[in-house]
């Protein structure tokens, strides 16, 4: 267990899935900002599928907030592993919601743009129909739907294309492959917005700092729009990597799970109701790469 005790905000926050990318980014942000008390519980102390373990954690800390970063995110593997994906993404979220309702704890739950089919061409708002086209998207939507039955004190943050200095992600993979190969073939007909996980962590901390009660579903990614191909091109440019890139269609790179072709999310609600400032994806990418290269 790692407990970062900070001074200005009274009341603890339990973080589940603390060893993952977003959990590590939360540790980074609270250390920089020094404004909230977060308790990072490892899975062996806080498995979201173990109700007895969760009850013990809530009884010990009586948290004001609970952040659920735990998720089954292996998108292609989930197609053959639906039971465990559903247990983690739906049942785990429901377990935390039950305890949050019992303890009066505010739940901050992370969801995904994969809850949408991605067949449109206009930025998606929170009230647009969710129609997932993959097991991962379906189980994440089921997790969203399980929460309101047990608590009305929740923030569901849908995000997309997460990357950072931590864990495995597209940016780090591209930098590695770009330095190893002469040519990379990258999909250009899937469009969305990259999200620097440090920025998402900052949004979460801002919700806690402000003690907002504007509960509900929100979209949070960085600003702007891009394709995976153009995202990779920017990574190579900012990382000073000389590699030839070839744009290809999704059909030329078949995967087990179907991805949304267009999953750009409208962040107006988050900006107006939560008061968060959202950087452009390219500005945040530059920050991330500079830290990776430092």
pLDDT of the chain, 294 residues: tens digit per residue:
555 443 334 479 999 999 999 999 999 999 998 876 899 987 788 899 999 999 999 999 999 999 999 999 999 999 999 999 999 999 999 999 999 999 999 999 999 999 999 999 999 999 999 999 999 999 999 999 999 999 999 999 999 999 999 999 999 999 999 999 999 999 999 999 999 999 999 999 999 999 999 999 999 999 999 999 999 999 999 999 999 999 999 999 999 999 999 999 999 999 999 999 999 999 999 999 999 998
Residue 138 lies in a domain: yes
Q: H or E segment at 280?
A: none
What pLDDT is recorded for position 5? 43
Q: How far is CA 237 from the centre of its chain?
A: 25
Residue 22, SS3 per DSSP: helix
What pLDDT is recorded for position 294? 81
Choice among 9, 65, 136, 229 that is catalytic: 136
Backbone angles phi, psi at 156, to 5 degrees: -105, 115
Number of H helices, E strands in the chain: 11, 13
Residue 6 lies in a domain: no
What pLDDT is recorded for position 44? 82
Q: Can you read off the two tokens belonging to residue 128? A: 């647009």
What pLDDT is recorded for position 6? 38
Residue 58 lies in a domain: yes
Residue 206, SS3 per DSSP: helix
What pLDDT is recorded for position 37? 84
Residue 152, SS3 per DSSP: coil
Residue 149 lies in a domain: yes
Region of 27 (left: φ > 0; alpha: ψ -120 to 50; beta: rest) is alpha
Residue 22 lies in a domain: yes
Q: Can you read off the two tokens belonging to residue 102? A: 């019992």
Annotation says 218 is catalytic = no
pTM score, two decimals?
0.95
Judging by beta carbons within 10 Å of its beta carbon (0-12, 13-18, 19+), is residue 197 exposed, middle or buried? buried
Task: Assign residue 132 the CATH number of its domain.
Answer: 3.40.50.720
Question: Whole domain around residue 111: which residue ranges?
Answer: 13-169+195-222+266-279
Residue 229 lies in a domain: no
Instruction: Answer whether 5's CB lies under 8 Å from 35's CB.
Output: no
Alpha carbon distance 129, 8 (integer Å): 39
Instruction: Answer whether 271's CB lies under 8 Å from 219's CB.
Output: no
Alpha carbon distance 197, 73 (integer Å): 15
C-alpha pair distances (Å), 186 with each of 170, 220, 243, 248, 259:
11, 25, 12, 6, 14
Residue 149, SS3 per DSSP: coil
What is the domain count for the chain?
1
Residue 259 lies in a domain: no
């Amino acid at each position: 267990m790692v407990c970062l005790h900070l001074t200005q905000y009274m009341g603890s926050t339990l973080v589940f899935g603390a060893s993952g990318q977003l959990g590590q980014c939360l540790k980074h942000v609270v250390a920089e900002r020094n404004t909230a008390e977060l308790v990072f519980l490892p899975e062996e102390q806080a498995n979201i599928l173990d109700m007895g373990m969760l009850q013990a954690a809530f009884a010990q800390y009586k948290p004001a907030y609970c952040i659920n970063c735990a998720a089954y995110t292996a998108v292609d593997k989930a197609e053959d592993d639906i039971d465990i994906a559903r247990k983690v993404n739906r049942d785990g979220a429901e377990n935390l919601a039950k305890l949050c309702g019992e303890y009066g704890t505010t739940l901050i739950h992370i969801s995904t743009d994969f809850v949408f089919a991605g067949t449109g061409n206009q930025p998606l708002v929170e009230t647009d129909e969710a129609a997932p086209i993959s097991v991962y998207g379906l189980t994440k939507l089921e997790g969203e739907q399980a929460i309101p039955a047990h608590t009305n004190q929740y923030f569901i943050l849908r995000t997309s294309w997460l990357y950072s200095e931590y864990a495995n992600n597209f940016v780090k993979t591209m930098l590695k492959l770009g330095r190893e190969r002469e040519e990379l073939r990258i999909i250009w007909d899937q469009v969305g917005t990259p999200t620097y996980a440090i920025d998402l962590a900052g949004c979460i901390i801002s919700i806690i700092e402000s003690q907002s009660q504007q509960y509900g579903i929100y979209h949070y990614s960085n600003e702007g729009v891009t394709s995976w191909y153009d995202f990779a091109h920017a990574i190579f440019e900012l990382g000073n990597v000389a590699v030839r890139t070839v744009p290809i269609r999704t059909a030329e790179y078949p995967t087990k799970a179907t991805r949304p072709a267009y999953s750009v999310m409208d962040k107006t609600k988050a900006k107006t109701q939560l008061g968060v400032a959202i950087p452009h994806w390219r500005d945040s990418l530059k920050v991330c790469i500079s830290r990776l290269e430092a």
